[in-house]
Amino acid sequence: MTQTVPPTTASAGQIRELVDQVLSAGSLPPIVQAGHPALRQCAADFDGQLSDDQLGRLVEVMRQVMHEAPGVGLAAPQLGIPLRLAVLEDQYDIDPAAAALRNRSPLDFLAILNPRYTPVGPGHASFFEGCLSLNGLQAVVARPETVLLEYATPDGAAERREFSGWQARIVQHETDHLDGILYIDRAQLRSLSSNAEYAAHWAEAGITKAREGLGFDDGPAGISLG
């Protein structure tokens, strides 16, 4: 089944208004949850809708929201803003054995505009994944192990950078948000677990125990999005 994701209908002026609401709120904005239209539409490319000051302040607010959640990434649509902007950062201290199995290494803070990724090579890795916009749930997602990301920085520089392992997973998850895709669209749905049940039964670095206990494959799954 192929599903076409609709583009955002928000104009540049409406996007500015949404950003102004976030910046003037006086407190950190909430993270919107599944069902919000911004999460199911292709976000608008950034092409100067915001001033440099607005963009810089929005990036900082997104970073604070990501840290407060806490998470390792946040996309603008998760604040209800349909703009191709995301922030990434992974500095969490985890068990060395789990880090090695997941190929997880620290990722310094990065703000990306208009990102697009391309898989590099045939390899995939399958692990449990969660999302700040689907509170309390996790599921196994098979993702390319290495991707090439093309993006712009907030100061306008065009960049191309290769990411592997858990960093590649973060890049793909957040970029997918900008295309109206949630991780459950790519997940093995038989693996879907509440955080409590995951902690009780499947909390290990890999997915072997969960795959056998819940009866799912570990390859790519979900609908084709075009």
- Output the known binding site: 131, 173, 177
Count CB-CB contacts under 10 A for residue 156: 9
Model confidence pLDDT, tens digit, residues 124-161: 999 999 999 999 999 999 999 999 999 999 999 999 99
Model confidence pLDDT, tens digit, residues 172-224: 999 999 999 999 999 999 999 999 999 999 999 899 999 999 999 888 876 55
Mean pLDDT of all residues in 33-48: 98
Asked whether the predicted pLDDT for residue 3 surpasses 80, the reply is: no
Q: Exposure pattern of 41-53 as b/e (b: 16+ CB <10 Å)?
A: bbbbebeebbeee
Q: Contact, 117 vs 175, CB < 8 A?
A: yes
Whole-number Å distance between alpha carbons of 118 and 137: 27
Q: Contact, 154 vs 127, CB < 8 A?
A: no
Q: Residue 3 contacts by C-beta under 8 Å, 6 or more apart in sequence? A: 223, 224, 225, 226
17, 174, 197, 204: the active-site residue: 174
Across the strands, what pairs with 126?
Answer: 142
59, 116, 221 from 2: Cα distances, Å: 33, 20, 13
Residue 212 annotated in active site: no
Q: Contact, 126 vs 140, CB < 8 A?
A: yes
Question: Where exactly are the structural domains of the chain?
Answer: 7-221
CATH architecture of 7-221: Alpha-Beta Complex (3.90)
User: pTM for this structure?
Assistant: 0.95
Pick from 201, 188, 197, 177: nearest CA to 140: 188
Whole-number Å distance between alpha carbons of 78 and 76: 5
Mean pLDDT of all residues in 49-61: 98
- Output the known binding site for Fe cation: 131, 173, 177
